[in-house]
Structure 1
Amino acid sequence: MASETEKTRALLQACSTESIVCSIGLGIFCLVADRLLQLPLIQQSDWLRALSDNAVHGMIGMWSWAIITGVKKKTDFGEVILAGFLASVIDIDHFFLARSLSLKAALTLPRRPFLHCSTMIPIMVLTLKFTMYLLKVRDSWCFLPWMLFVSWTSHHIRDAIRHGLWICPFGKTSPLPFWLYVMTTSSLPHICSLGMYVTGTRQLISSTQGTLINV
C-alpha cells in the first residue's frame, strides 16, 4: 500500500505548478540556445561553436537534474554540477576516435563515435548499477545510474535533431523534428523521476538522507 501511495504522490508532484514551470523554462532554453548557436559569429569559429554546443549540453543536463532534485540543499547543487559534467563529457569520444587532440580532426570524423550510439545508454546505466552493487557503494549514491541516464539521454536527443538517433545494430533514425526535441527534453526529468519512484530509488534516498526529492 505504501508503495502505491508513493507512486500516486509522484504522479501528482510531476504535474505540480513548480515542476511544470521549470519544464517550460527548460523547453524555452533549448529553443533559444539552439537558435543562438546558429548565429554566424558562432558558426564561423570551430572553437566557439564546439564550446558553445558542449556548454548547452551541460546546461540541459544540469537543468534536467535540478528539476528532479528541486535543489533544496548544497548536496543537490553538487549533483546538478555532476549531471552537467556527465551530459557534456560524452563529446570526449570525438577525440578518441580521431586519435588526436586536434579540434579540427575531432569535428571531421568519418563516422559517429561510440558514446553517441544510443544503445550504449542502457548498457552503461546497467553496468554502473551492477558495479555499484558489487562494490557495495552506499545507498546515498543510488541516484547515480538515473543521473547518467538523464544526462546522456538529453545529449543524444539534442544531437538527434541534426543526425538522428544511432541505435545499434539497427542503424539510425531520421533527424528529430525540433519541436519533438524540445518536448522530449523538457519531459525527460519527469519520466526519470517517475521511474525512480517505481524502482524504489526515491524511497531509498529518502530513508538514507532523511529528505524526499521534489519532482
Structure 2
Amino acid sequence: MMASETEKTHTLLQSCSTESLISSLGLGIFCLVADRLLQFSIIQQNDWVRALSDNAVHCVIGMWSWAIVIGVKKKTDFGEIVLAGFLASVIDVDHFLLAGSLSLQAALTLPRRPFLHCSTVIPVVVLTLKFTVHFFKLKDLWCFLPWMLFISWTSHHIRDGIRHGLWICPFGKTSPLPFWLYVIITSSLPHICSFVMYLTGTRRAMSSKHGIHIDV
C-alpha cells in the first residue's frame, strides 16, 4: 500500500516537474508565435498553404502535448508522439466528408461545421475507446489511446475555438475564445490530463515504458 502511494506521488510530481513545466511554457510560446505567423498575407492568400499550415500547427500541438504527458525517455516513444500528432490533425478530414468532395474550396465553404468538430464527440469517443480497450483486454498495448485521443482532439477544438467558438451539442456553440485563453488552456492541457488520470486512480496499469503507470 505504501509503495503504491509512493508511486502515485512520484508520477504526479513527474507531471509537474521543472522539465514538463518548461516544455509547457514552450508549447504556449509556440501557439502564440505559430498562430501569429499564420496571419501573414503570404499564407492567407493561398487556400492550400493556409489549410496545410493550419493543419500542421494542430499536428505539432498534439505531438508536443503528448510528449509532455509521457515524458520522452526512449526512441520508441516517438511513435506514440507521431500518432498523437496524426490524431490532432486527422479531424479535419470531416470537412471533405461533409462536402462529399476532395475539393479544398468545397471543404472550406461548408454550410455548417462537420461532425468531428462537435466537442461532445470527444467524451463519447474517449469513453467508447476505454470500454473497448477494457472489454477486449488490450490494456498492455492500447491503454494510452483514450488519453492520447482526448488530449489531441481537445487541443484541436480549443484552437479552432478562437475562430468559431466551441460547438457543444445539443446546446449550441460558445462565443470565440479569447486568444490568451487558448494559449493558457493548450499549454495547461497536458498537466490537466495527467492530474485527471491521477485523481481517477488511473496510474497503475499502463506500460511502465514511460516511467508512469496508467490504468484505464
Q: Distance in 2 between matches of 1:211 and 1:47?
A: 37
Specify which structure has the higher proportion of helix: 1
Q: Distance in 1 between matches of 2:200 and 2:125?
A: 18
Q: How does 1:64-213 map to 2 (within 5 A)?
A: 64-205=65-206, 208-209=207-208, 211-213=210-212
Distance 1:201 1:27, change over 3 A: same
Do the aligned residues in 2 keep the contact of 1:31 with 1:182 (CA within 8 Å)? yes
The letter for the 2-side match of 1:153 is T
Q: Distance in 2 between matches of 1:21 and 1:52?
A: 25
Q: Distance in 2 between matches of 1:140 and 1:195?
A: 21
Do the aligned residues in 2 keep the contact of 1:140 with 1:209 (CA within 8 Å)? no
**CA displacement, residues 26-66 of structure 1 (integer Å, 9 cap, x when unaligned):** 00000000000000000000000000000000000000001
Displacement of 1:213: 3.4
Displacement of 1:5: 3.8
Displacement of 1:76: 1.1
**CA displacement, residues 84-131 of structure 1 (integer Å, 9 cap, x when unaligned):** 000000000000100111000000000000000000000000111112
TM-score, normalised by the number of residues in structure 2: 0.92
Distance 1:34 1:155, change over 3 A: same
The two structures, once aligned, show a CA RMSD in angstroms of 1.7
Displacement of 1:196: 2.3
Task: Compare 81-90 and 15-24 and name the one that shifted more.
Answer: 15-24
Q: Distance in 2 between matches of 1:42 and 1:117?
A: 27
Q: Give the match for residue 48 of structure 2.
A: 47
Do the aligned residues in 2 keep the contact of 1:6 with 1:197 (CA within 8 Å)? no
Task: Compare 125-134 and 191-200 and name the one that shifted more.
Answer: 191-200
Displacement of 1:188: 0.3
Structure 1: segments with no counterpart, 5+ residues: none
Do the aligned residues in 2 keep the contact of 1:70 with 1:213 (CA within 8 Å)? no
Do the aligned residues in 1 keep the contact of 2:119 with 2:168 (CA within 8 Å)? yes
The letter for the 2-side match of 1:44 is Q
Q: Distance in 1 between matches of 2:209 and 2:132?
A: 25
Give the aligned length: 212
Q: Distance in 1 between matches of 2:157 and 2:172?
A: 15
Do the aligned residues in 2 keep the contact of 1:68 with 1:193 (CA within 8 Å)? yes
Distance 1:75 1:195, change over 3 A: farther
TM-score, normalised by the number of residues in structure 1: 0.93
